[in-house]
Structure 1
């Protein structure tokens, strides 16, 4: 029996009333949908630890717990990162 492929964990950290966060949602949604991946969102408004760590960098993109981008999410870089994580040609 083959092992299921590991899927990268994609998390976007946002805050309320953030126009860059809205742009980031669009980019992350488009890239992950194209690869058949899910992603999640966390808000610094709901978590003091996240707020302390990321307040000046929102939105922040984490892939498998590693910060990969902030402020403006680069669509091409995210696609390359996720393809590498999936062992797909870049």
Structure 2
């Protein structure tokens, strides 16, 4: 594991994810942008978590919709099959 990258179960990472969702959902006004900026400046780990979340969002943004949606649907169907098989085995 890279020690400079935040972990997904870290509360700060979850906060960064919440900020990212609000930003991309168009729910942030000027006061929200100021609050995000203040949160990022509050601690170095906040800024690291924000940078990691933003990088992930940019990466997902580069996946073509025609590829991303079918891939996610395929993963969902596979997960259902695995759960069904596990249930049957139990």
Q: Which has the higher strand share?
A: 1
Q: Which has the larger radius of gyration?
A: 2
Structure 1 length-normalised TM: 0.27
Q: Which has the higher contact order (CA 8 A, sep 6+)?
A: 1
Structure 2 length-normalised TM: 0.27
Q: Which has the higher helix share?
A: 2
